[in-house]
Amino acid sequence: MKKDEYIKYAKETFKSKALDIVLRQIDLYYEKEDINKKQYEVGEEVILKKGTHLHGIPGYMENFDWTVENGFIGNDFTTKSTPNKIKNSIGMWDIKEDCKLIDYIKKYSGFTITYTIGRGPGSKEITELIPYHKFDEYTENINNQEDIWMYWGDQTKEIRFMPSLVANKRQIAFILNMDSDAAKEMYQNDVWNIDLDDESLREFVDYRYYDKFLVERKNKTALTTDRETAIIFGLPPRLIEGVFVGRKLEKDMESLKYIKDKLPDCYICNLDGKVIIGNK
């Protein structure tokens, strides 16, 4: 779709403050700017700077071209797909503090556990992340604490939507550089941002989920999650700094070459958190 088509959809869909936000996001999306992308050589460890965004795509290579050409745009703007709880936006993983990519991978290839302290009225629920291969150690510690009555858990959302150490469902994720002025402004228009006023928020959240979302947005946990953003409209492909691949794709030299040819100024890295094709 072209810019005028996105604007047409926006004017037909939104009103008031929400319309102003979406039109501004579209303008920022098409803004011309230079991105100072990190440079890596083969074998170097990738460092994720605070504020960096990650986004995984489904399939093996079938969705790669569309993403590289069109960027990261909420499905509502491009298809007549089944509505999501959070609408007219694109989900991203927001890096909350500087870290090595390998540490991020290990942490979020793990498990989300919720446990109760005490029983009945007055009991308290705590949700925490268990890193990769730390489940037995963590639950043994919980079982030895008398005030913890019960616990239950789930896979992290990253396992569903990103390359991980425990699943091959996703083979491609993009690392987005959010250092530019336009990117920083687009980042502020995040559905999870508690500064987004309630009137505008209603345009981006399914009405059946709205009341629950108001609570989750102000009380984020490792489950809801405390590391997601939902950028209104989307983010442009010029922000792609690197491509993060799963174990299957890492061995496919033809596909890796194709990725590099499409994104010559970007690096490619693997689940060891290391660069396998550099951009220096």
Which tens digits make up the pLDDT trace of 125-140?
Answer: 899 999 999 999 999 9
Q: Do residues 141 and 226 both lie within one domain? A: no
**Do 132 and 180 reside in the same domain of the chain?**
no
Q: Which domain holds residue 45?
A: 3-105+159-277
* Same-domain pairing of 218 and 149: no
Burial class for 59, CB neighbours closer than 10 Å (0-12, 13-18, 19+): exposed
* Domain co-membership, 40 together with 142: no
- Three-class secondary structure of residue 200 per DSSP: helix
At 147-199, the pLDDT tens digits run 998 899 999 999 999 999 999 999 999 999 999 999 999 999 999 999 998 88
From CA 105, how far away is CA 270, in angstroms rounded?
Answer: 10
Distance CA 108, CA 99 (A): 13
Domain count, the chain: 2
pLDDT given at position 79: 83
Residues 174 and 236 in one domain: yes
Top pLDDT among 82 and 108 is at 108
